[in-house]
């Protein structure tokens, strides 16, 4: 019973961290030049303006 409870606590923590990571990185823009270079994109991807928010593409 304790193991199931601990598993659920850990699952909730990871879900909250995932939600914060995916929603907390929204930078508004109008053009690609409005996206900052410091946006953490994986090497082949560049920050681009998509639907008025900066995303790695």
Say how many C-beta atoms besides its own lie within 10 A of residue 10's C-beta. Answer: 10
φ/ψ of 39, rounded to 5, equals -60, 125
Is residue 56 classed exposed, middle or buried when 0-12, 13-18 and 19+ CB atoms within 10 A define those classes? middle
What are the pLDDT digits (tens) for 1-57? 888 899 999 999 888 877 766 666 678 999 999 998 887 788 899 999 999 999 888
Query: What are the distances in angstroms from CA 50 to CA 4, 32, 42, 54?
Result: 41, 8, 17, 6
Give the pLDDT confidence score for residue 40 in this predicted structure: 78
Give the pLDDT confidence score for residue 43 in this predicted structure: 85
Say how many C-beta atoms besides its own lie within 10 A of residue 32's C-beta. Answer: 13
Residue ranges per structural domain of the chain = 2-56
Give the pLDDT confidence score for residue 52 in this predicted structure: 93
């Amino acid at each position: 019973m304790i193991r199931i409870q601990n598993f659920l606590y850990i699952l909730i923590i990871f879900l909250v961290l995932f939600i914060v990571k995916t929603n907390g990185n929204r930078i508004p823009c109008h053009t690609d030049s409005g996206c900052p270079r410091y946006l953490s994109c994986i090497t082949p991807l560049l920050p681009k303006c998509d639907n008025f928010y900066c995303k790695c593409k």
